[in-house]
Amino acid sequence: MDRAGIFIDHGYLQKLLEDYGIRHMDYLDFCEKLCEGGITRFRTYLYDCMPYQSDPPTEEEKRHYASKQRFFTALNRMPRFEVKYGKLQKLPDPASLTGYKFVQKRVDVLMSVDIVRMSAEKQIFRIIMVTGDSDLVPAVMTAKDAGSEVWLYYANTARTFAHDELREACDECRELTQDFLNTIATYER
């Protein structure tokens, strides 16, 4: 069984695309290119949160929410692609100009549960992660103990990196470079 599950922290991926100046990309092409070495893509899981909305939401919040909803619906319609939702929490932040910040919740837990479950059930042989968070180290170690290979794709940009502990825990680490991402960038007409 040479099947891979791809697990993408979309908040992480969005930041690195922004840092590289890439506004749009071909998600299917990206995922196929991550499956190097003749491995078959079983399924791609993308983890993110819907945008925050006040009660009642502003017109701008409504537009942003609807846009993100259309984007996720389009991803869910792609072959073997599934979006999983965490929660976005608004927290006080006196250091911020706005006085608050938004924090993703449950994304790492959802990804960890899927990685451990699919490894233990032998649904996939290779775990391909696009993230940088050391919270995933226990899931990586459990997947390896279950016999899976764990590959990490990460970036070193102004806002994205991979924690040393995560890189050390993975079997293979590949940097997502500007040149690589330019091969899957798409441009609006």
pTM: 0.93
CA–centroid distance for 35 within its chain: 15
Residue written as tokens 């990804």? 111
At residue 56, φ and ψ (nearest 5 deg) are: -85, 155
Task: Look at residue 140 in the predicted model and tell me its pLDDT.
Answer: 98
- pLDDT > 80? residue 189: no
Backbone angles phi, psi at 179, to 5 degrees: -60, -45
For residue 142, the domain's CATH number is 3.40.50.1010
Question: What is the percent of the chain with per-residue pLDDT over 70, rounded to a whole number?
Answer: 98
Q: What is the pLDDT of residue 132?
A: 95
* Per-residue CA distances from 103 to 19, 71, 83, 89, 140 (Å): 20, 21, 18, 5, 23
Tell me the residue range of the domain where 17 lies: 3-186
Residue 55: its pLDDT value, please? 87
If you average pLDDT over each of 54-63, 86-95, 145-154, which comes out highest?
145-154
Q: For 80-103, how does the pLDDT look when each residue is reduced to its tens digit (9 = 90+)?
A: 999 999 998 888 888 888 888 888
- Judging by DSSP bridges, how do beta strands 40-48 and 126-130 pair with one another? unpaired
Range 122-145 average pLDDT:
97
What is the number of domains present in the chain? Answer: 1
Q: Rounded CA gap, 74 and 72, in Å?
A: 5
Distance (Å, whole) CA 5 – CA 3: 7
C-alpha span between 126 and 167 (Å, rounded):
16
